[in-house]
């Protein structure tokens, strides 16, 4: 292999067996290589125009005139010349100039100089010629090198595996000193020969950071130049244009194999002219998954590292680099899945076989006890699999390319489902499975996804089924979406993941589980899927999404209230998108196969990083769980001891019945309906009608009764509030039209107030004089600021009928309950809007619109707060005169800190730690006369059940984590044993391949063994933590000790 360094010096290397290089210095290295270099011939040059593709059958080009260009350099007493040959086209029309760089540059040594000038004008001239009159050529097979490469996958994979062994360096004697035993090899040096320990230390005296491997288990006489002799090598150090000589001996291997054994990865399978070093591919592979660097930015970095001035532009090998890294990812996935050691090779790969499995999840046959299927109920729940469904509309793909042009290398081998069967399913059942109407809140996540995002896209996103306990992608559990989260897509992914070695008990979560669970059995029967009948699936809604659902969903689909789920939140699938979303801008422009191959690699790296972090992650979780388990069990026992024994015994019976059968009454739901102002108005109107019928009514106005006057006053009070808000928003720079409309509203309100005051004076005779004392006749107070003077406001200053005070009490009490219900609904709306905005809204315009909607929801919350505080002040005033007691247990003063969502603590606390705002406990109609015993009993029952649920969830979490740790250890042991079964499994024609395959299997076995030992060491004190302070985590004794 001839390598031209820079523009002057050149050395000769051969891809055949090379003599060992003992010198650690670059100068010494070049000296030894120069000694083995054959003499160059300076005549008999032959020139060819060689395109950079595999079209070797193309007709020869038209002969061209050969010109030469000579440079003379004079430095002190030394003179050197450099002659360069190039072609001039015979036709008057210019064509692309072909430099004679395919042959060695002729150097006439006249006292040879060590430096030589570069003719920059000549280079610029060549570049200009290349840019003019470009004639498109016919596309050939070389334009699709990936399709040409596919039949050679097994050969490439075998060569990668062969490098795990000693290859051709099987001699026991050190090639340097001939005394020591050659068992060491450097992973970072280009030379792959083995040396003894002493020589390896000497060689790396000045490069101590190179990685050394320990083995535990003649110069070529007929060099052949590479095709075109203008080879380009991509390396960590830059982009190098070199000349390569292949071994041409009778027993020589093909050029591709020679390159692979030299740890150079060829870009094509026939006549390669580009290669990348293994070190470069390994570096970019890791960088792309960890730092999310794009292939283009990485390649530009290499070119700038080669020449950061732009003076000497190199050959563009970006497309070749991207093709090589795509193949490299695929081969690495196959190698790590053991496909190279399997007799069937890549073609025999089963669906999902290359996925990185979750060691902590239950894997029948790998990490579960032999009797797991017959375990008693108190233990069987520990073997449940937690699966989370979710869609991601960022990972879309435009309508570019096709499966015919870009078929992909992995066909359901890892995380994406096999595309052909998936598309056939969609084509068959898309029109047969209708989308059910939403029975819950109006979830925009589905509604808007169905209305947008499909135009111009081949895939509007992806849907996945993940492990929600450990945030890992499951095998064959990802598929493309075409338009929204349709049942036909989600059902296929759910069935696919249940087919991948899933245990019987499944805890499923989905942000719209309440809607998806409906008729799911009927849909699976239509598809012909039998998986649901073989599994016991219990559905939940992730904790962060749950508050946006109705009360029924919050009580029946909650992870906090459901049994045998520990502290699972169901949101792991949402967090998992953080590692793949940075690729969205790249994958949306890719073809179907390229996109699936890249995302399979991304998800594989995501899973592997999760596996390596399990020792620390599970340790941190169990430390927290043990402490909070003891805290919440103690809190529940204390709360339980303060309640009547009969009540708690009844509540225990109800909750245990509901846990066994979800169709039974839910103890977490409030049984009483919310009191409304409209209901009290109707009741008062019925009482007035009955009084008129019996002649007991005291009529002072022909149209308004006393209760009617109060109801009209409350409506005017709301109009005043709205006008005050609009006045504050009007601003100093309002237009004349805006001011005119506002004044018209003021005038209309003033006329209504004057009419109402006349009626009010009939039922409250002293109110007119009292108003005149408060507001002088010449006052310019705007109508929205004028006091209405309800009985509750003046009962201490003027006489008011007791019946009138009682009626306002009933109206204000109902108003307070109604406003609290509105406030809870608006808080849920705001929370849902924030979630939707963060998840689906992108771009300045859409964000502005979303903020406008959120601002509207906030204004409603502010209005509810103002109305409640007005009603509460009236009740406080009336309760003193009417001697009402106990009502403040339900209707408490509303502070700013109380205005928060049901899932929010005072300082962002979660459900397991939060303190619930009282507004979420004040549901129910109570009693208009202040007796709240029944409602209080209902609230106490629900809080007792929640306290018990918190104690149980933390106790279950400790048990689950302990079981997961055991499963991790068992899985590593199983996988280590599995790799030992790969030894000698495949018969190779050459011993070097078998040795490499066995060496790789033993290395993987050692890795799994080391990972198990790491886990054992990290978790060595877990058993003690669980036993220290271990409280009774079952139901506490129902006594009043």
pLDDT level of residue 81 (50, 70, 90 thresholds): low
- The domain ranges of the chain are 372-402+418-591, 677-925
Residue 770 pLDDT greater than 70, yes or no: yes
Give the strand order in the sheet containing 106-108: 65-75, 78-88, 106-108
Please write the tens of the pLDDT for every residue from 182-208.
Answer: 778 787 776 667 888 888 888 877 776
Please write the tens of the pLDDT for every residue from 952-1003.
Answer: 999 999 999 999 999 999 999 999 999 999 998 887 777 778 888 888 999 9
Q: Rg of the Cα trace of the chain? A: 40
pTM of the prediction? Answer: 0.65
CA 530 to chain centre: 30
In this structure, what token pair is assigned to residue 289? 């998954």
Question: Residue 126's pLDDT is what?
Answer: 47
For residues 694 and 717, the answer to whether their CB atoms sit within 8 Å is: no
Please write the tens of the pLDDT for every residue from 813-824.
Answer: 888 888 888 887
For residues 468 and 388, the answer to whether their CB atoms sit within 8 Å is: yes
% of residues, the chain, pLDDT over 90: 32
In this structure, what token pair is assigned to residue 360? 């902590």
Question: Residue 391: helix, strand or coil by DSSP?
Answer: strand
CA 836 to chain centre: 16
For residues 721 and 859, the answer to whether their CB atoms sit within 8 Å is: no
Residue 598 pLDDT greater than 50, yes or no: yes
Residues 740-748: what's their mean pLDDT?
88
Please write the tens of the pLDDT for every residue from 446-468.
Answer: 554 455 456 789 999 999 999 99
| Residue 37: HSE in the Cβ half-sphere, 13 Å Cα cutoff | 21
- Dist. CA 421–CA 413, nearest whole Å: 13
DSSP state of 152: G
Residues 692-700: what's their mean pLDDT?
56
Q: Which helix (H) or strand (E) holds 450?
A: helix 444-451
For residues 353 and 338, the answer to whether their CB atoms sit within 8 Å is: no
Compare 755 and 679 and report the one with higher pLDDT: 755
Mean model confidence pLDDT for the chain? 78
Question: Residue 203's pLDDT is what?
Answer: 81
Question: Residue 1030's pLDDT is what?
Answer: 62
Question: Residue 301's pLDDT is what?
Answer: 93
Q: Which residues of 44-66 are buried (b: 16+ CB within 10 A; e: fewer)?
A: eeebeebebbbeeeeeeeeebee
Residues 309-333: what's their mean pLDDT?
91
Question: Residue 929's pLDDT is what?
Answer: 39
Compare 528 and 686 and report the one with higher pLDDT: 528
Residues 359-370: what's their mean pLDDT?
95
Token pair 């010494």 is found at 28
Question: Residue 80's pLDDT is what?
Answer: 54
pLDDT level of residue 910 (50, 70, 90 thresholds): low
Question: Residue 606's pLDDT is what?
Answer: 96
Token pair 């000698």 is found at 984
Q: Which of 207, 220, 225, 231 is nearest to 168 (CA)?
A: 220
Please write the tens of the pLDDT for every residue from 375-402.
Answer: 998 899 999 999 999 999 999 999 988 8
Residue 911 pLDDT greater than 50, yes or no: yes
Residues 680-702: what's their mean pLDDT?
60
DSSP state of 701: -
Token pair 């059968």 is found at 661
Max mean pLDDT range (17-31, 62-76, 874-888, 920-934): 874-888
Q: Of 565-574, 809-818, 903-912, 921-930, where does mean pLDDT reach its minimum?
A: 921-930
Compare 707 and 83 and report the one with higher pLDDT: 707
Question: Residue 390's pLDDT is what?
Answer: 94
Question: Residue 15's pLDDT is what?
Answer: 44
Token pair 């009290």 is found at 680
Q: Which of 610, 625, 577 is nearest to 359 (CA)?
A: 610
In this structure, what token pair is assigned to residue 37? 């270099």
Residues 314-334: what's their mean pLDDT?
92
pLDDT level of residue 1006 (50, 70, 90 thresholds): very high
Residue 12 pLDDT greater than 50, yes or no: no
Please write the tens of the pLDDT for every residue from 859-881.
Answer: 888 888 998 999 889 888 888 88
pLDDT level of residue 149 (50, 70, 90 thresholds): confident
Question: Residue 355's pLDDT is what?
Answer: 95
Residue 893 pLDDT greater than 80, yes or no: yes
Question: Residue 921's pLDDT is what?
Answer: 63
- Dist. CA 574–CA 29, nearest whole Å: 54
For residues 476 and 356, the answer to whether their CB atoms sit within 8 Å is: no
pLDDT level of residue 441 (50, 70, 90 thresholds): low
Question: Residue 363's pLDDT is what?
Answer: 94
Question: Residue 74's pLDDT is what?
Answer: 47
Question: Residue 703's pLDDT is what?
Answer: 66
> 995 in the Ramachandran plot: left (φ > 0), alpha (ψ -120 to 50) or beta?
alpha
Residues 107-134: what's their mean pLDDT?
42
Q: Which of 250, 256, 280, 289 is nearest to 270 (CA)?
A: 256
Residues 27-36: what's their mean pLDDT?
38
Max mean pLDDT range (33-47, 499-513, 648-662): 499-513
Compare 139 and 445 and report the one with higher pLDDT: 139
In this structure, what token pair is assigned to residue 854? 């959120």
pLDDT level of residue 40 (50, 70, 90 thresholds): very low
Contacts of 920 (CB under 8 A, 6+ apart): 824, 902
- Dist. CA 486–CA 489, nearest whole Å: 6
Compare 388 and 65 and report the one with higher pLDDT: 388
Compare 177 and 473 and report the one with higher pLDDT: 473
């Amino acid at each position: 292999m001839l390598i031209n360094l820079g523009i002057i010096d050149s050395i000769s290397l051969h891809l055949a067996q090379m003599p060992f290089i003992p010198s650690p210095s670059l100068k010494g290295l070049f000296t030894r290589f120069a000694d083995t270099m054959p003499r160059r011939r300076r005549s008999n040059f032959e020139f060819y125009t060689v395109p950079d593709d595999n079209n070797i059958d193309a007709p020869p080009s038209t002969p061209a005139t050969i010109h030469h260009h000579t440079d003379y350099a004079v430095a002190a007493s030394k003179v050197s010349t450099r002659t360069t040959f190039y072609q001039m086209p015979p036709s008057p029309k210019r064509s692309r100039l072909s430099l004679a760089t395919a042959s060695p540059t002729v150097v006439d040594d006249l006292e040879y100089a060590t430096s030589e000038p570069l003719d920059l004008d000549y280079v610029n001239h060549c570049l200009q010629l290349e840019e003019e009159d470009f004639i498109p050529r016919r596309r050939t097979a070389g334009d699709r090198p990936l399709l040409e490469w596919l039949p050679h996958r097994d050969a490439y994979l075998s060569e990668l595996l062969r490098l795990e062994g000693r290859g051709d360096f099987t001699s026991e004697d050190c090639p340097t000193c001939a005394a020591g035993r050659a068992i060491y090899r450097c992973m970072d040096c280009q030379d792959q020969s083995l040396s003894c320990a002493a020589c390896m230390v000497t060689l790396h005296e000045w490069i101590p950071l190179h990685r050394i491997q320990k083995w535990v288990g003649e110069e070529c006489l007929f060099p052949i130049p590479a095709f075109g002799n203008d080879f380009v090598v991509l390396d960590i150090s830059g982009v190098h244009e070199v000349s390569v000589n292949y071994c041409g001996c009778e027993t020589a291997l093909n050029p591709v194999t020679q390159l692979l054994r030299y740890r150079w990865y060829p870009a094509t399978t026939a006549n390669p002219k580009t290669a990348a070093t293994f070190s470069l591919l390994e570096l970019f592979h890791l960088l792309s998954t960890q730092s999310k660097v794009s292939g283009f930015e990485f390649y530009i970095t290499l070119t700038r590292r080669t020449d950061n001035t732009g003076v000497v532009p190199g050959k563009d090998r970006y497309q070749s680099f991207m093709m090589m890294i795509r193949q490299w990812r695929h081969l690495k996935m196959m190698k790590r899945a053991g496909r190279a050691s399997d007799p069937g090779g890549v073609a025999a790969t089963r669906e999902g076989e290359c996925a990185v499995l979750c060691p902590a999840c239950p894997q029948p046959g790998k990490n579960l006890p032999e009797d797991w299927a017959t375990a008693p109920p108190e233990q069987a729940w520990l073997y449940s699999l937690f699966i989370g469904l979710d869609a991601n509309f960022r990972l879309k793909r435009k309508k570019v390319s096709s499966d015919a042009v870009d078929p992909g290398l992995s066909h359901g081998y890892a995380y994406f489902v096999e595309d052909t069967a998936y598309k056939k399913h969609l084509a068959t059942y898309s029109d047969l499975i209708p989308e059910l109407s939403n029975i819950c809140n109006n979830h925009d996540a589905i509604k808007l996804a169905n209305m947008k995002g499909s135009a111009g896209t081949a895939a509007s996103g992806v849907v996945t089924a993940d492990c929600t306990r450990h945030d890992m992608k499951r095998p064959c559990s990802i598929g493309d979406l075409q338009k929204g989260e349709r049942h036909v897509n989600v059902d296929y992914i759910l069935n696919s993941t249940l087919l991948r070695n899933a245990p019987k008990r499944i805890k499923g979560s989905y942000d719209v589980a309440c809607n998806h669970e409906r008729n799911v059995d009927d849909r699976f029967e239509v598809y012909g899927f039998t998986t649901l009948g073989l599994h016991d699936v219990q559905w939940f809604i992730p904790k962060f999404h749950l508050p946006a659902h109705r009360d029924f969903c919050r009580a029946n689909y909650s992870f906090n209230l459901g049994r045998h789920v520990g502290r699972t939140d169901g949101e792991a699938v949402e967090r998992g998108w953080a590692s793949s979303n940075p690729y969205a801008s790249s994958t949306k422009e890719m073809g179907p196969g390229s996109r699936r191959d890249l995302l399979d690699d991304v998800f594989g790296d995501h899973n592997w990083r999760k596996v390596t972090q399990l020792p620390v992650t599970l340790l941190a979780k169990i430390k927290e769980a043990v402490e909070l388990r003891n805290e919440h069990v103690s809190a529940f026992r204390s709360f339980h001891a303060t309640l009547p024994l009969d009540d708690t015994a009844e509540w225990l019976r109800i909750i245990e019945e509901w846990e066994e059968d979800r169709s039974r009454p839910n103890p977490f739901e409030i049984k009483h309906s919310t009191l409304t102002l409209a209901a009290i108005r109707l009741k008062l109107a019925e009482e007035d009608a009955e009084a008129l019928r019996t002649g007991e009514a005291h009529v002072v106005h022909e149209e308004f009764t006393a209760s009617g006057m109060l109801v009209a006053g409350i409506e005017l009070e709301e109009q005043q509030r709205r006008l005050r808000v609009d006045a504050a928003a009007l601003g100093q720079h309002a237009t004349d039209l805006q001011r005119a409309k506002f004044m018209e509203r003021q005038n209309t309100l003033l006329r209504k107030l004057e009419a109402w005051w006349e009626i009010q004076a009939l039922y409250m005779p002293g109110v007119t004089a009292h108003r005149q004392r408060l507001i002088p006749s010449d006052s310019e107070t705007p109508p929205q600021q004028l006091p209405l003077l309800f009985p509750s406001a003046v009962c201490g200053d003027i006489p008011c009928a007791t019946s009138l005070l009682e009626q306002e009490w009933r109206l204000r009490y109902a108003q307070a309950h109604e406003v609290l219900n509105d406030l809870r609904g608006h808080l849920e709306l705001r929370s849902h809007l924030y979630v939707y905005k963060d998840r689906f809204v992108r771009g300045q315009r859409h964000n502005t619109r979303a903020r406008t909607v959120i601002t509207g929801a906030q204004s409603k919350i502010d209005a509810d707060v103002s109305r409640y505080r007005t009603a509460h002040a009236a009740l406080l005033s009336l309760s003193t005169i009417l001697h009402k007691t106990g009502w403040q247990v339900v209707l408490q003063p509303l502070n700013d800190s109380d205005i928060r969502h049901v899932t929010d603590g005072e300082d962002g606390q979660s459900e397991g730690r939060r303190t619930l705002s009282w507004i979420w406990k004040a549901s129910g109609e109570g009693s208009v006369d202040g007796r709240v015993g029944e409602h209080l009993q209902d609230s106490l029952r629900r809080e007792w059940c929640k306290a018990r649920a918190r104690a149980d969830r933390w106790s279950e979490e400790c048990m689950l984590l302990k079981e997961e740790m055991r499963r991790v250890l068992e899985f590593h042991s199983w996988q280590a044993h599995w790799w030992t079964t790969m030894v000698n499994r495949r018969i190779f024609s050459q011993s070097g391949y078998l040795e490499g395959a066995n060496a790789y299997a033993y290395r993987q076995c050692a890795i799994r063994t080391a990972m198990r030992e790491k886990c054992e060491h990290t978790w060595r004190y877990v058993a003690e933590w669980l036993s220290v302070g271990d409280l009774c985590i079952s139901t506490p004794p129902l006594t009043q000790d």
